[in-house]
Amino acid sequence: MARTAVNYTPLVPNGHLTDPAGTTIDSTLVTNGVVINAADPERTVIRVTNTSGAAKAVTVKAGAGSHAWLAGQGDSVTTVALTTGVEWLGPFTSARFQQKGTKLYVDFASGTTGTITVFKLPKAY
C-alpha cells in the first residue's frame, strides 16, 4: 500500500505560527506509514502526539540508496507517552534518513492514535 503524504507546515521567520492541528494518525497511517515528499531533512522537525492508552513508538526510517551512506546507523525510534504524550523529532541528517527521490518515511506502532505535524525550519537570513 502507498504511504500517505504529509505536507510541511513552514515556520515563519521573524513572525509567528498559530498551532496547527496536524494530520490525524488513523489505521491507514499506522498500516502504511507516511511520506514527506521533497524533504529537506536538516530543516525538518516532526511533532507527534499520542492519544492512545499505551505508549507508542514512532520510527523515522533509515534511508536507501548510495546517497544515504549513514543509513547503516539504522532507524530512529522514539517512544511517545500514553494518552497526552507529545514528542518533537529532528532535524535529521540527509545521509542517514533521506530516501530515494528526496523523501522521508515515518512509521507508527500498531494502535497509535493522535496527530503528526511536519514543520520546516526557515533558512537563516
The confidence band for 123, taking pLDDT boundaries of 50, 70 and 90, is confident
- Whether residue 84 is predicted with pLDDT greater than 70 in this model: the reply is yes
Task: List, for residues 105-120, the tens digit of each pLDDT value.
Answer: 999 999 999 999 999 9
Average pLDDT over residues 4-11: 96
Report the length, in residues, of the chain.
125
Average pLDDT over residues 47-61: 97
pLDDT confidence of residue 1 = 76
Q: What is the pTM of this model?
A: 0.94
Cα 18 to Cα 31: distance, rounded to the nearest angstrom: 30
From 120, 124, 125, 123, select the one nearest 40 (Cα to Cα).
120
